[in-house]
Amino acid sequence: MSNKPKNSVLIIDDSQFNITAINQILSPEYTVYVARNGHEGINTARSVLPDVILLDIIMEGLDGFEVITRLKSIPETRETPVIFITGLNSLEDEEKGLTLDAADYISKPFSSAIVKFRVRNQIQIVNQIRTIKHLSMFDTLTEIPNRRSFNDRLNLEWHRAKRERTPIGILMMDLDRFKAYNDTYGHLQGDILLKKAAETFVQSTRRATDFVARWGGEEFAVLLAGTDKKGTAHIAEKIRVNIENMVVLCSEGRRTSATISIGANNVIPELNASLDFFISCADTALYRAKDEGRNRLCFCED
């Protein structure tokens, strides 16, 4: 049996009869949430972030048209597909719903087959988009975030550090003599080393705020939000030692190993501080670690 979590659907309707009927149709396949008026529906949508919303138009208080307008103005729910399910069946009502960016429109009385099909269609689109986004933000070989994902996270944490006057650390890391390793053992074995190293980086950084990514080739980066210079040095040294002690098996059980050079930077950024300089300073420290003999940590020189 698959452990993959179910997709979720939120029903916003003030009719208990409709809620019961739709819940019976969808609950075997999806996790179903229920809201019995527009205000509750908006709050529930923001709380549970459903994959699809089924929304009645005629409700007391906020009607469906007002609810979708508000949902589309909220960043967390703006992209959530909304299917109107209502007794209003004129072309004008349908056109109005679609102009408000509804994904689909089901007229009452509805059949279970139509509800299942329309919801399944939107769920498939949501899952496809989610897969595409995941692939665009993760490195396919190592299965950790890629450079684009790292840059997005770094921008977020950099501005947070400026705003809150908190420290932020970065590690730029390069596997030593990786080309020679590839030439000796082959590119497939080189890929095994990269994957094993990525696993080691993740295992060495346990906090939720630590962010490991593949920068490109044999180069990796770690973002350490809310970490001072002493903490940055501690994590960097832990990574260096763990890589040095890492064993990578190749053909016929042969044991291979690797080392890593690390360039680090840590600051409490001023309001006019440059993010590019923050990164380049760590990169310069990395090259210094290489020049000084590899398998070592060098900090950015103030």
67 by Cβ neighbours in 10 Å (0-12 / 13-18 / 19+) ranks as buried
Q: Which of 76, 94, 218, 301 is catalytic?
A: 218
Beta carbons of 199 and 191 less than 8 angstroms apart: no
Among candidates 276, 239, 274, which has minimal Cα distance to 258?
239
242 by Cβ neighbours in 10 Å (0-12 / 13-18 / 19+) ranks as middle
Strand 52-55 relative to strand 219-225, pairing: unpaired
Our answer to whether residue 218 is catalytic in this structure is yes
Strand 260-267 relative to strand 255-256, pairing: unpaired
Beta carbons of 266 and 169 less than 8 angstroms apart: yes
Among candidates 115, 51, 56, 38, which has minimal Cα distance to 77?
51
Strand partners of residue 264: 171, 299
3-state secondary structure of 249: strand
Positions marked catalytic: 218
